[in-house]
Amino acid sequence: MPSPEQPRRRRGPPSKQATSEDEDMPPRALATSLESITIQPRTPKTPRSVHQRWNSVDVSAVDEVELSLLQEDERREAEAGLFDGDEEERDRTAVKRPMSTRDKKAIVLLIVLYLIQGFPLGLALGSLPFLLREHLSYSQLAIFSLSSYPYSLKLLWSPIVDSVYFRSVGRRKSWIIPMQLLVGTIMVALSFRADEMMNKPDEYIHVLTAAFTGLVLLSATQDIAVDGWALTLLSEENLPYASTSQTIGLNTGYLMSYTVFLAFNSEAFAAKWGVPRLTLGGYLLFCGVMSYAVTVWILFKKEDKETTDVDISIKSVYMTMWTICKLKHVQTLLIVHLFAKIAFQAHDAATSLKMVEKGLGREDLAMVVLIDFPFQIFSGWLAGRWSRGDKPLRPWIYAYWPRLALTAIAGLMVYYFPKPPIATWFFVLIVIQAVTSSFAA
């Protein structure tokens, strides 16, 4: 029988011949004796010799030994240096990687879903305040403005949307399909009485407020489900394009319900271009049919099963949301957004109304918004591309102060608004202010 292997004795300083033999020893033997390892005078980022014969595992072992001989602070810096280059390389690769066909189809689907949401929002926040302004006081208009509140308060019932669903239908489709059906039904029902109510708005102000509050509530609930669906529709590296899809879809729907509808609803515009005047009832019927059509399309779209698709209670979702809200950075972000919008509220709500009151025609305002629309789409795409990476709030921070300055300029334009007819240079100034505000917003 072969004799058992005797334990290796500690040797003295190795000779040149022993050193050459140690180079061919396996990694375990190298790691057991620090004296047999020659530490090269280099930092972890220094390129290794091309004559090194160890494989990647052996090199990692030597790196660990070298790091262990450093001080604590030096070791942290060295470890960061070892991995920073790899992370930067992965980030560059992710940016250069072309978008897959699956992500492109997902973006189209998201744009269409957000487009449907933009229909009632454009009517409630844009067109109807203009149409009602001629017949109602500002206090009555304030009552109608309550219809926009559900969209701002959707966080309160978002845990219900996330936790209650039919597994056979899908977590997101369980809410998107019924919400769109209800939106289409309300719009079709309103279309038969809309023109009558618009002729006597003071008598139907509460009915109009209740109807459009319901529409905005349903659209806000659908928005919660669509936002959640975007997390599984898009790949991780293209998730910033979810906000781009929302910008394009919502702005397009808002444009159609605001600018396009106001233009075709104007008798002067219809007479000038020889087209029939579009009534509110006709437009509501069109929006209702579109909602039904998109709902049928969604029925045939398969929803991927989420990796975390487990049964969770409503209470646990609220508790998780509360835990997140208690985080210091989240609280800071909430406070910033709570006060940041104060500077723009008066401008967003009243600037256009005051300009129309001082003589800006509805068709002129529609033209301003129409010119501004492509820039809104481009700025949304640019913001989504700029937000990719580890600093997604950077575009918002850089654009805040220019937006604040443009809001002050808009106030001065209202104050010094000329008497009709409006000069061409002033109309161009309105367009420039609207376009630059779109980029800043």
Q: Please check whether residue 1 lies inside any domain of the structure.
A: no
Report the SS3 class of residue 170.
strand
72-86 mean pLDDT: 51
DSSP for 329-388, please give it: HHHHHHHHHHHHTHHHHHHHHHHHHHHHHTT--HHHHHHHHHHHHHHHHHHHHHHHHHT-
Inter-residue contact 405 to 436 (CB < 8 Å): no
Residue 243 is predicted with a pLDDT of: 84
Quick one: 198 and 122 in the same domain?
Answer: yes
State which of 306, 326, 346 marks the end of a domain. 326
Asked whether residue 241 falls in the same domain as residue 284, the answer is yes
User: 366 and 225, same structural domain?
Assistant: no
- Whether 277 and 351 share a structural domain: no
Q: For 336-345, write each residue's pLDDT tens digit.
A: 888 888 888 8
Using the 3D structure, point to which of 24, 49, 83 is the last residue of a domain. 83
Residues 141 and 197 in one domain: yes
Name the band, by pLDDT with cuts 50, 70 and 90, for residue 76: low
Q: What does the pLDDT look like over 155-181, one tens digit per residue?
A: 899 989 988 888 888 889 999 999 999
Provide the residue range defining the domain that includes 391.
Answer: 329-441
pLDDT digits (tens, 9 = 90+) for 6-41: 544 444 454 444 444 444 444 444 444 444 444 444
Q: Say if residue 146 is in the same domain as residue 264.
A: yes
Per the domain annotation, does 374 fall within a domain? yes
What is the amino acid identity at position 310? V
Asked if 170 and 303 touch (Cβ cutoff 8 Å), the reply is: yes
pLDDT for 61 beyond 80: no
- Of 295, 310, 326, the last residue of a domain is 326
140 and 244 inside one domain: yes
> CB neighbours of 340 closer than 8 A, spacing ≥ 6?
400
Judgement on whether residues 224 and 235 belong to the same structural domain of the protein: yes
Number of domains in the chain: 3
Q: What is the predicted pLDDT for the residue at 5?
A: 47
Are 313 and 356 members of one domain? no
Considering the domain boundaries, does residue 93 fall inside one?
A: no
* 414 lies in some domain: yes
Average pLDDT over the chain reads 78
CB-hemisphere CA count at 13 Å for 291?
29
Residue 110 and residue 242 in contact, taking contact as beta carbons nearer than 8 Å: yes
Based on the fold, state whether residues 403 and 308 are members of the same structural domain: no
d(CA 151, CA 221): 8
Q: In this structure, are 310 and 398 located in the same domain?
A: no
